[in-house]
Amino acid sequence: MELKLVSFAICPFVQRSVILLREKQIDHEIEYIDLNDPPDWFLQLSPTGKVPLLLIDGATLFESSVILTFLDESFPPGFQPADTLRRARHRSWIEYGSTLLMAQHAMATASDEDTFIEKKHLLEEDIARLSEPLSEGLFANPDEFSLVDAAIAPLFMRLQHLADINQQAVVKIPDPVRHWSERLLQRAAVEQSVVTDFADRYRAFLVSNKSWLCVADGSGN
């Protein structure tokens, strides 16, 4: 099977697939495109105009959660629970991970202080909701990597980068979530899932989107 992942370098949804490809040590190629000027071949292949796309021997898959499931089911070892209800609950939380990524994006790109504070508060509320499945042991177990880990790690990585850019972006996180984040960010597959100049690119993206966080610490000019 020849796999090509179509990526935008700072996209958290693409990063989910890269983490899983690396965890499973699956041979793959990555093609980076500029979403501000997407090539015609991409627009023809992608019904939504979004990355990630996974090209498999010429067939096209889109939507990050679908790509995760395909990779997991095609390349052992599987990282999904055997029990069907538990597996479905993992999928629910993977979808929730997308909600969290959108909430984080809204905070990161807020263009003024009031909007930033409002979006930060919403993100903190959303993140706090992870406490319940964690207390139940549904996922985030140290000895058992899961697709939820791959889906949520990009959020934790960006939280760290945002805090490095500006202390005001340090969000309140319940301790169990923080411990999960610390563990995930130390995994080789997570560390190596972004381009080497990710921090610079992410900051440049925020600056170009007139993010208040970057302007507020003087780096946006």
Q: Which residues bind ligand GSH (CB under 6 A)?
A: 8, 11, 13, 35, 49-52, 63-64, 98
Which residue in the block uniquely carries the two structure tokens 């263009």?
111
Across the strands, what pairs with 141?
144
- Smallest distance from ligand GSH to CB 99, Å: 10
Residue with Cβ nearer ligand GSH (42 or 179): 42
Residue with Cβ nearer ligand GSH (178 or 198): 198
Within 10 angstroms of residue 99's Cβ, the number of other Cβ atoms is 11
- Smallest distance from ligand GSH to CB 36, Å: 9
Region of 210 (left: φ > 0; alpha: ψ -120 to 50; beta: rest) is: left
- Smallest distance from ligand GSH to CB 13, Å: 4
Residue with Cβ nearer ligand GSH (98 or 168): 98
DSSP annotation of 141 reads: B
Residues 6+ apart with CB under 8 A from 155: 12, 97, 100, 101, 104
Residue with Cβ nearer ligand GSH (40 or 83): 40
Residue with Cβ nearer ligand GSH (105 or 179): 105
Within 10 angstroms of residue 41's Cβ, the number of other Cβ atoms is 11
Type of residue found at 146 = S
Report how far apart, in Å, the C-alpha atoms of 181 and of each of 105, 113, 154, 173 are: 18, 27, 10, 10
Compute the chain's Rg from CA coordinates. Answer: 17
Residue with Cβ nearer ligand GSH (46 or 115): 46
- Smallest distance from ligand GSH to CB 137, Å: 26
CB 153 within 8 A of CB 184: yes
CA distance 124 to 129: 9
CA distance 43 to 157: 29
- Smallest distance from ligand GSH to CB 64, Å: 3
- Smallest distance from ligand GSH to CB 10, Å: 7
